[in-house]
């Protein structure tokens, strides 16, 4: 039966939101963060020379998911994006689960970013407890997100530009080293990659076990669907912008990982320290580590800032749909959902508590828990997209202004690959607490729907 909601839904186009360049900056700011600057050390320690392949494969999955979200969001640019689309296909219960699951994943992702910020600050101030830095950064980004979208994009432009330029410069320096340039104690060494040629199957299990951490580095793409409703002329600007964003991130992540492996001896990798910091310590340049630490700090802060944006917009969608307290739907004169921003920021304070209890494990625990929830959401996006395209083709094909490639096969290939990645999580024992935590959260969210809304008809 045709889903009339898909064809009849309309959304007032944005007149004061992001333009294409602002959209690109917000998306890059949300994606590029501790997933590459800090978590890459974990990925490399697990996957070895397969780490660039892991980031490349993860990037292909991410690009596919973004294409799915873009198609559905342009056809129906509803506040809440993939949450609303899932609800239209699978019913109110699943839409509720997806919305709260995304918000929870975003809060956990914010927790990992605020922890990364604190870890970078502790390099300068080792005697100050981690939780104090977490508290300061939580208050800071919450205040920043109370600006309007123009003010927020200006702040994000500065923060995001720093980390993109840093990755580009790092790759260029690595390429020059590959052609014989030596700086300080650093020089190119491709023996790690040569070892793969002699043992081509070694490291496959490590590659699989690293994929949750890898995909965590890409999970900020949810902002693309959420920001479409605040973007001018999305059918014209978003497809090209999304391709620029995703292509840029995949290239930067893959090449950066290659250069890390080529420059930094494998015995110097430390999962608790950014590998970029380890590389710069080899350069023997005065103040190089301090400069890089500042760059890493702004990178994590940028990602944290953008994630507060995306989590508050999802919370706004839940409130407007009657699945969160109506008071949260309040928007001030600048269009900012101030109460949703404050609630997301307040919940982030839990990261401060976790930082106090588990200062050494908080990063990998929050990364894995957030990553698992985000991957479940990606599986939902893949399944929703398959049925959504079918409904649009049958009922209102004129709404298909942009078509993602590979339909219908790509959606199920991506779904199956993500399921394999989730099944491989126990290969890395430190991910198990996050796996259990995210599974428990998912069950609790599902049960809460029936407790709070079970009396309603589970309609689409």
At 329-369, the pLDDT tens digits run 888 777 788 888 888 888 877 766 765 665 556 566 666 77
Residue 273: inside a domain, yes or no?
A: yes
pLDDT over threshold 50, residue 1: no
Domain assignment present for residue 280? The answer is: yes
Q: Is 460 part of any domain? A: no
The length of the chain in residues reads 460
The CATH number linked to 398 is 1.20.1740.10
What pLDDT shows up at residue 460? 47
Locate tokens 């099944």: which residue? 423
Domain contains 218? yes
The tokens describing 58, both together, are: 């993860």
Q: Residue 198 sits in which domain range? A: 13-453
Residue 388: predicted pLDDT: 93
**pLDDT tops 70 at residue 456:** no
What span, in angstroms and rounded, lies between the C-alpha atoms of 295 and 33?
A: 11
- In terms of Cβ atoms closer than 10 Å to its own Cβ (0-12, 13-18, 19+), residue 397 is exposed
184-211 pLDDT, tens digit per residue, is: 666 666 666 666 655 655 567 888 888 8
Query: Is residue 340 a part of any domain in this protein?
Result: yes
The confidence score (pLDDT) of residue 397 equals 87
pLDDT the model gives residue 280: 76
Does residue 458 lie in a domain region?
no
Query: What pTM does this model have?
Result: 0.80
Closest CA to 28 of 316, 284, 220: 220
pLDDT at 357: 67
The 10 Å CB-count burial string (b at 16+, else e) for 8-24 is: eeeeeebeebbebebbb
- In a domain, residue 91? The reply is yes
Kindly state whether residue 325 falls inside one of the protein's structural domains.
yes
State the alpha helices, DSSP H only, in 32-148: 34-37, 40-47, 51-75, 82-90, 92-124, 130-144
Does residue 320 surpass a pLDDT of 70? yes
**224 — pLDDT class (breaks 50, 70, 90):** confident
Label residue 440 exposed, middle or buried (CB < 10 Å: 0-12, 13-18, 19+).
exposed
Q: Domain tally for the chain?
A: 1
Residue percentage of the chain with pLDDT more than 70:
79
pLDDT tens-digit series, residues 26-53? 677 667 876 787 778 888 888 888 889 9
């Amino acid at each position: 039966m045709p889903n009339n909601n898909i064809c009849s839904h309309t959304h007032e186009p944005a007149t004061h939101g992001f333009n294409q360049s602002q959209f690109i900056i917000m998306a890059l700011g949300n994606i590029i963060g501790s997933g590459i600057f800090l978590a890459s050390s974990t990925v490399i320690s697990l996957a070895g020379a397969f780490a660039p392949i892991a980031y490349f494969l993860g990037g292909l999955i991410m690009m596919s998911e973004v294409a799915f979200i873009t198609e559905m969001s342009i056809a129906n640019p509803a506040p809440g994006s993939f949450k609303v689309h899932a609800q239209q296909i699978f019913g109110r219960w699943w839409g509720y689960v997806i919305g709260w699951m995304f918000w929870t994943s975003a809060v956990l992702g914010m927790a990992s970013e605020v922890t990364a910020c604190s870890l970078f600050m502790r390099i300068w101030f080792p005697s100050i407890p981690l939780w104090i830095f977490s508290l300061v950064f939580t208050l800071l980004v919450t205040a920043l997100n109370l600006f309007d979208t123009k003010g927020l994009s200006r702040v994000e432009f500065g923060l995001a530009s720093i980390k993109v330029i840093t990755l580009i410069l790092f790759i260029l320096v690595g390429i020059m080293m590959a052609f014989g340039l030596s700086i300080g104690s650093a020089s190119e060494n491709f023996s790690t990659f040569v070892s793969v040629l002699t043992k081509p199957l070694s490291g496959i299990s490590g590659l699989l076990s690293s994929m949750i951490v890898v995909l965590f580095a890409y999970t900020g793409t949810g902002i693309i669907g959420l920001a479409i409703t605040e973007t001018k002329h999305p059918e014209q600007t978003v497809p090209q912008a999304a391709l620029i964003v995703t292509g840029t991130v995949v290239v930067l992540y893959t090449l950066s990982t290659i250069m890390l492996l080529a420059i930094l001896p494998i015995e110097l990798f430390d999962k608790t320290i950014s590998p970029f910091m380890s590389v710069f310590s080899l350069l023997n340049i005065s103040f190089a580590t301090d400069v890089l630490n500042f760059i890493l700090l702004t990178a994590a802060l940028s990602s944290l800032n953008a994630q507060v944006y995306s989590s508050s917009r999802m919370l706004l969608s839940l409130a407007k749909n009657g699945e969160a307290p109506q008071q949260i739907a309040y928007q001030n004169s600048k269009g900012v959902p101030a109460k949703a921003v404050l609630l997301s920021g307040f919940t982030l304070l839990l990261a401060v508590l976790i930082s106090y209890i588990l200062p050494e494990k908080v990063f990998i625990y929050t990364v894995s828990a957030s990553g698992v929830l985000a991957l479940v959401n990606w599986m939902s996006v893949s399944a929703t997209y398959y049925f959504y395209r079918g409904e649009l083709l049958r009922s209102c094909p004129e709404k298909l202004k942009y078509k993602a490639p590979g339909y219908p096969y790509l959606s199920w290939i991506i779904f199956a690959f993500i399921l394999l990645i989730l099944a491989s999580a126990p290969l890395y024992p430190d991910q198990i607490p996050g796996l259990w935590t995210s599974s428990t959260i998912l069950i609790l969210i599902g049960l809460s729907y029936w407790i709070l809304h079970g009396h309603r008809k589970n309609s689409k």
